[in-house]
Amino acid sequence: MSRNPLIREVPPTSWYFRHPLYLRYMSREITSIFIGAYCVLLVVGLQRLAAGPAAWEGFVTALQSPASIVFQFLCLVAAFYHAATWFNATQKAMPLQIGEDFVPGNVISGAHYAAWAVLSVVVLFFTGVF
């Protein structure tokens, strides 16, 4: 260490403006707030369901209000972004080696996207959409 090294502090509340990649990271972190809020909404829904048919009808009506639809749309977008960034990261997090070679990263991510699509269809089927 030199006699008088210069220490350059990282700004603790604005560091993520330094690079687009940091902003993308923070935007992914923010999606967690929407996903958490939607989980709370589901818990409230369960509680309303347990409270009886009238409470449940009131809950369903509230879900159809414009503000609620906007909220659910934002949650859906956030969930898509959160899921997609995670699926893209699986290439590094879950490398699959067969013999001397590794399965290409886009196959690993692609398998996650495919499983996501299939499970979504299954869920939609059981909810009576089809």
Q: Report the C-alpha gap between 75 and 39 in whole angstroms.
A: 10
When asked if residue 30 is in the footprint of other proteins (CB under 8 A), the reply is: no
| By CB under 8 A, residue 14 contacts other proteins | no
Question: What residues form DSSP beta bridges with 102?
Answer: 97
The dihedral sign for the CA sequence 80, 86, 40, 128: positive
Does position 94 bind other proteins by CB under 8 A?
yes
Dihedral angle over CA of 102, 105, 109, 110, nearest 10: -90
Task: For residue 22, state whether it binds other proteins (rule: CB under 8 A).
Answer: yes
Nearer of residues 7 and 54 to other proteins, judged by Cβ? 7
Q: Report the C-alpha gap between 58 and 37 in whole angstroms.
A: 19
The nearer residue to other proteins, 66 or 99, going by C-beta atoms, is 99
Where on the chain is the footprint of other proteins (CB under 8 A)? 1-8, 10, 12, 15-16, 18-19, 21-22, 25, 89, 92-95, 97, 99-102
